[in-house]
């Protein structure tokens, strides 16, 4: 890959630590709103609210508001059996007024608030809703510009037919799933003016000026295998949350919610076009599907991914599942679970890159829990005879229960890669020492005990398979077969993930200055691993044998893990393998499932081919982004939203390569011609950096690089490299002159 050269005079100015420029931009940059001129007709038109555990899909119906809600621990199944993620219930508010005009509903990503406005019988009605992390409730307020305008009925329903109880101005649903999990939801209704009457498990509102609904929900789930996943009944917790929130004003609740949310969301802003659009989001999407340019919509989808991660993954909760936290189905696709051969990992690709490291924590806690669960099982499919380390099944629930469909033994190595990423981006030594290092080391031991000698003495994994299509031996031939899981030695997916694991371990032990002897042993094992191989038609081989079919369009890109999210293949460090990866990607093609295309945006970005990444963005919009901007496999799957956000970040900034331990920050490595002008603020880079960049006519014009921990840094742009040392809190400002 010939890196374009042009004269580049970097004028560097170093500002003292105190001159920190605010890393957060203004959220009105591109007016981050999804908006529509009609209410949601179906669930996949509704808009999501979430606080990391309580989620709601808001329909915005003027005469009947429906909020279908979830609480992320409401799972069937247990530590052995998969079960499935369950819907909780619905909150309905039915009003009696005439047909609306001037209707608009919107989700404002700048304050994570859903709003509806419309006119009816000469009155202007407004509605605001949000899900608060600090107060752990979902709040919706109804107001009007004429007193006494609200008369109607508030209803709570339960997806599992639990009895609904009306008690004063409170509606409650209390139930128990077939696996013994207890659950409870309570809706508190506050009205100003008029009156409220309890009426056969509903609440009737008569001529009120304002109505506020506050919803809390919980279960007896404990995110702790030592407690066998069970804690207290939810009643006390749900009641105290609700009553505490009811004592606050709507303004106080909203202010606390907004402050908490903006502390995360405002860390990164992105502008790709010339600003807000006058068209509703669904109309913009229809035009984009036809191929019309809309860089602001592409920036909006980037920020939507960050919004969805903040809304579905917060410290103390469970990781975002296949649908984030939103699910209306009693039998959701793939259980709405954690599939660990791409999907769960993709959910978290944007976490460190886009300043949402806190949202990564539920995944780390889950990995630690899985280590406990899988180390106490006798299942030799996920253990070794020596009993060191563990791996897990391909599809699991929050407790480690599985569909038993298949085991991907490198999965746990891929999962702990995320712990290493948290350290790389934050340089948090305490996290590395207490959480990441022990978790990574025991998986290294798992593979030290499992690797076997392969051809020419190379170390290979003995019994893998390449997600999710074989190969199988038919006679003396090897053929590819969807879903085949016949154990097979030396599969590229296995080899590349183990190489990554060993590399992360080596860097982690060096960063901590521990276990030099074992580090040397692991380095020697890594060097003996069977590495990526270039096959007969110039491709990266998916298996040890050169059996790849050039017409194979499988959705998984498992044999390109080393290009992304791994770091073994790169045009800069291994140009031959990178060229072969390009051949493989071209052969796989651009048409596939939503998450597969999202992965390819990242893969092409790692090959520095921004226009090809942007072509994949077009393919994603064409068939895999729904009117509410959810990703579709099909069916709806949220991993593609997060793979997309990660892909856009990788097109703008990469930092996975380092030289003698110094991170290499590659600015605008894959800028497409479709984004000639733009500005990004606050993207994160390995080494504890945050980076702003502005470009015009496709060329970088300025950049600010801030160091949180004060380290050396190398910056690469357009083939030119500069190195400098920063002190904690200081920054470098680049003005680029051609
Ligand atoms: C893997 C993928 C499927 C789907 C499922 C949730 O099995 O191969 O396409 O995304 O996970």
pLDDT in tens, 561-620: 999 999 999 999 999 999 999 999 999 999 999 999 999 999 999 999 999 999 999 999
pLDDT score, position 27: 39
pLDDT score, position 199: 87
Do the beta carbons of residue 176 and residue 103 sit within 8 Å?
Answer: no
How far is residue 169's CA from residue 190's CA, in Å, rounded to a whole number? 7
Mutate to test the pocket of ligand 1, among 320, 323, 339, 469 (most ligand atoms within 8 A of CB): 339
Could you tell me which of 382, 563, 343, 307 has the C-alpha nearest to residue 467? Answer: 343
- 556 Cα nearest atom in ligand 1: 8
From the CA of 447, how far away is ligand 1's center (Å)?
25
From the CA of 317, how far away is ligand 1's center (Å)?
23
146 domain-assigned = yes
**First-to-last CA distance in the chain?**
22
From the CA of 343, how far away is ligand 1's center (Å)?
7
Residues 6+ away with beta carbon under 8 Å from 538: 579, 580, 583
Who has greater pLDDT, 479 or 21? Answer: 479
From the CA of 339, how far away is ligand 1's center (Å)?
7
pLDDT score, position 558: 97
Look up residue 243 and give its DSSP letter. H
- Average pLDDT score over residue span 507-526: 98
Residues 6+ away with beta carbon under 8 Å from 586: none
Confidence of residue 427 (pLDDT cuts 50, 70, 90): very high
pLDDT score, position 501: 98
3-38 in b/e burial notation, b at 16+ Cβ within 10 A? eeeeebebeeeeeeeeeeeebbbebebbebbbbbee
- 394 Cα nearest atom in ligand 1: 7
519 domain-assigned = no
CATH of the domain at 185: 2.70.98.50
Mutate to test the pocket of ligand 1, among 468, 556, 599 (most ligand atoms within 8 A of CB): 468
Count Cβ atoms below 10 Å from residue 697 Cβ, excluding itself. Answer: 8
- Average pLDDT score over residue span 54-79: 98
From the CA of 624, how far away is ligand 1's center (Å)?
15
470 domain-assigned = no
Report the alpha-carbon angle 554-293-104, nearest 5. Answer: 100
Between the alpha carbon of residue 704 and those of residues 272, 290, 697, the distances in Å are 18, 37, 19
For ligand 1, atom 6, the nearest C-alpha belongs to 334
Q: For the segment 313-322, what is each residue's pLDDT rounded down to a tens digit?
A: 999 999 999 9
389 domain-assigned = no
- Average pLDDT score over residue span 360-369: 98
pLDDT of 438 over the 50 cut: yes
pLDDT score, position 6: 30
Sign of the dihedral defined by the CA atoms of residues 378, 381, 386, 389, in that order: negative
Who has greater pLDDT, 8 or 365? Answer: 365
How far is residue 631's CA from residue 305's CA, in Å, rounded to a whole number? 10
Any bridge partners for residue 71, and if so which?
Answer: 54
Any bridge partners for residue 97, and if so which?
Answer: none
201 domain-assigned = yes
Confidence of residue 390 (pLDDT cuts 50, 70, 90): very high
224 domain-assigned = yes
Could you tell me which of 540, 533, 404, 554 has the C-alpha nearest to residue 469? Answer: 554
Do the beta carbons of residue 8 and residue 720 sit within 8 Å?
Answer: yes
- 322 Cα nearest atom in ligand 1: 6
Confidence of residue 96 (pLDDT cuts 50, 70, 90): confident
pLDDT of 19 over the 50 cut: no
From the CA of 236, how far away is ligand 1's center (Å)?
38
Could you tell me which of 219, 40, 237, 257 has the C-alpha nearest to residue 141? Answer: 257
Ligand 1 shell residues, CB under 6 Å: 322, 334, 339, 343, 468, 555, 593, 595, 633, 637
Q: For the segment 590-604, what is each residue's pLDDT rounded down to a tens digit?
A: 999 999 999 999 999
Mark residue 31 as left, alpha or beta (left: phi above 0; alpha: psi -120 to 50; beta: remaining): left
Please count the residues of the chain. 738
Q: For the segment 261-291, what is each residue's pLDDT rounded down to a tens digit?
A: 999 999 999 999 988 889 999 999 999 999 9
From the CA of 592, how far away is ligand 1's center (Å)?
12
pLDDT of 345 over the 60 cut: yes
pLDDT score, position 470: 77
pLDDT score, position 434: 98
pLDDT of 737 over the 90 cut: no
The per-residue pLDDT of the chain, averaged, comes to: 94
Give the position of tokens 């709040």. 139
How far is residue 738's CA from residue 731's CA, in Å, rounded to a whole number? 22
Q: How many folded domains does the chain comprise?
A: 1
105 domain-assigned = yes
For ligand 1, atom 11, the nearest C-alpha belongs to 339
Give the position of tokens 């190595």. 413
Confidence of residue 738 (pLDDT cuts 50, 70, 90): low
pLDDT score, position 442: 98
Full domain range(s) for residue 171: 33-265
pLDDT score, position 117: 98
pLDDT score, position 29: 43
Q: For the segment 676-712, what is each residue's pLDDT rounded down to a tens digit?
A: 999 999 999 999 999 999 999 999 999 999 999 998 9
676 domain-assigned = no
Give the position of tokens 């004269």. 7
- With 0.85 as the threshold, say if the pTM is over it: yes
């Amino acid at each position: 890959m010939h890196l374009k050269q042009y004269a580049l005079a970097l004028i560097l100015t170093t500002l003292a630590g105190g001159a920190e420029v605010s890393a957060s931009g203004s959220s009105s940059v591109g007016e981050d709103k999804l908006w529509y001129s009609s209410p949601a007709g179906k669930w996949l038109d509704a808009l999501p609210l979430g606080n990391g555990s309580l989620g709601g899909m808001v329909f915005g119906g003027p005469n009947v508001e429906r909020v279908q809600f979830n609480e992320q621990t409401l799972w069937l199944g247990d530590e052995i059996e998969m079960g499935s993620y369950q819907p909780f219930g619905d909150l309905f508010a039915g009003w009696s007024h005439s047909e609306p005009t001037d209707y608009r509903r919107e989700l404002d990503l700048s304050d994570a608030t859903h709003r509806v406005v419309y006119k009816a019988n000469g009155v202007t009605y407004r509605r605001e809703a949000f899900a608060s992390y600090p107060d752990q409730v979902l709040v919706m307020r109804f107001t009007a510009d004429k007193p006494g305008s609200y008369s109607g009925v508030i209803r709570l329903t339960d997806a599992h037919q639990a009895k609904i109880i009306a008690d004063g101005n409170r509606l409650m649903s209390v139930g128990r799933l077939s696996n013994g999990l207890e659950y409870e939801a309570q809706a508190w209704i506050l009205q100003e003016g008029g009156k409220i009457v309890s009426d056969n498990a509903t609440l009737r509102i008569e001529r009120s000026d304002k109505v506020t609904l506050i919803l809390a929900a919980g279960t007896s789930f404990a995110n702790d295998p030592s407690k066998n996943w069970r804690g207290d009944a939810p009643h006390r917790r749900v009641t105290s949350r609700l009553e505490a929130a009811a004592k606050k004003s709507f303004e106080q609740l909203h202010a606390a919610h907004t402050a908490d949310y903006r502390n995360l969301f405002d860390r990164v802003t992105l502008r790709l076009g010339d600003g807000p659009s006058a068209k509703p989001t669904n109309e913009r999407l229809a035009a984009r599907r036809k191929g019309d340019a809309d860089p602001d919509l592409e920036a909006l989808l980037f920020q939507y991914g960050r919004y969805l991660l903040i809304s579905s993954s917060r410290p103390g909760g469970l990781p975002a599942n296949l649908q984030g936290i939103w699910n209306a189905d009693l039998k959701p696709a793939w259980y709405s679970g954690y599939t660990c051969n791409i999907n769960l990992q993709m959910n978290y690709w944007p976490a460190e890159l886009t300043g949402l490291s806190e949202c990564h924590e539920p995944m780390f806690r889950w990995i630690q829990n899985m280590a406990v669960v899988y180390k106490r099982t006798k299942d030799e499919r996920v253990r070794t005879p020596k009993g060191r380390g563990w791996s897990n099944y391909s599809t699991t629930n929050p407790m480690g229960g599985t569909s038993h469909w298949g085991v991907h033994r490198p999965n746990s190595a891929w999962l702990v890669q995320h712990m290493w990423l948290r350290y790389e981006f934050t340089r948090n030594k305490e996290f590395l020492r207490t959480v990441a290092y022990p978790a990574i080391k025991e998986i290294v031991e798992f593979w030290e005990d499992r690797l076997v000698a392969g051809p020419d003495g190379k170390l290979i994994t003995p019994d893998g398979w390449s997600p999710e299509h074989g190969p199988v031996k038919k006679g003396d031939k090897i053929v590819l077969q969807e879903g085949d899981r016949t154990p097979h030695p030396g599969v590229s997916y296995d080899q590349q993930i183990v190489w990554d694991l060993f590399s992360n371990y080596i860097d982690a032990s060096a960063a901590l200055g521990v276990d030099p002897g074992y580090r040397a042993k692991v380095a020697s094992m890594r060097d003996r691993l069977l590495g990526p191989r270039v096959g007969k038609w110039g491709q990266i081989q998916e298996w040890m044998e050169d059996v790849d079919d050039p017409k194979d369009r499988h959705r998984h890109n498992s044999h390109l893990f080393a290009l992304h999210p791994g770091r073994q293949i790169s045009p800069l460090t291994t140009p031959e393998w990178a060229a072969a990866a390009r051949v493989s990607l071209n052969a796989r093609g651009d048409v596939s499932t939503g998450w597969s295309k999202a992965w390819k945006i990242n893969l092409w970005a790692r090959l520095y081919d921004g226009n090809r990444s942007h072509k994949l963005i077009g393919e994603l919009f064409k068939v895999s982004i729904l009117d509410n901007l959810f990703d579709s496999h099909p069916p709806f799957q949220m991993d593609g939203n997060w793979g997309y956000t990660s892909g856009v970040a990788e097109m703008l900034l990469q930092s996975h390569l380092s030289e003698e331990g110094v991170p290499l920050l590659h600015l605008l490595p894959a800028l497409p011609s479709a984004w000639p002008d733009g500005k990004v603020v606050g993207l994160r880079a390995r080494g504890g950096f945050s980076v702003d960049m502005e470009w015009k006519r496709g060329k970088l014009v300025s950049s600010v690089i801030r160091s949180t921990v004060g380290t050396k840094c190398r910056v690469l742009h357009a083939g030119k490299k500069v190195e400098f040392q920063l002190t904690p809190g200081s920054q470098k400002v680049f003005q680029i002159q051609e």
